[in-house]
Amino acid sequence: MKDHEALTIKILEKEYRVACPAEEKDSLLASARMLNTKLNEIKSKGAVIGTERIAVMAALNMSHELLNGQSLIDEHEKLNDRIDSLSDRIDNTMRNIKLV
């Protein structure tokens, strides 16, 4: 752990010490802020009681958002592949027209 840095992050008013690679410090801090925001949103609505249940609901919501985002990425990749294929067909057609 010589390349790791010890950080203190605060989530739902509790402090946690975590170690992470120095180059990932900013990302980890941003992740902790995002998690804390989600947890506080759920807590402030008052519909879920108990820290563990709040954490589970936040994890479920974030997982859902992640999967939806991955679906969009997959759709964009398919669309890009289709565009590339059509572009190749157009290029081939244009080359064939010039040959005639």
- Tell me the pLDDT tens digit for each residue of 18-31: 999 989 999 999 99
pLDDT score at 99:
66
Residue 13 has pLDDT above 90, yes or no: no
pLDDT digits (tens, 9 = 90+) for 59-90: 998 999 888 888 888 888 899 999 999 999 99
Per DSSP, 46 falls in state -
Count: domains in the chain: 1
Number of helices followed by number of strands (H, E) in the chain:
2, 2
Phi–psi pair at 47, nearest 5 degrees: -80, -20
CATH number at 54 reads 3.30.160.880
Regarding pTM above 0.75, the answer is no
Q: Rounded to an integer, what distance in angstroms lies between the CA atom of residue 60 and that of residue 25? A: 24
* Predicted pLDDT of residue 46: 82
Contacts by 33-39 with C-beta closer than 8 Å and gap 24+? 34/62, 35/11, 35/62, 36/10, 36/11, 36/12, 38/62, 39/11, 39/12
pLDDT at 2: 63
- pLDDT mean across residues, the chain: 88
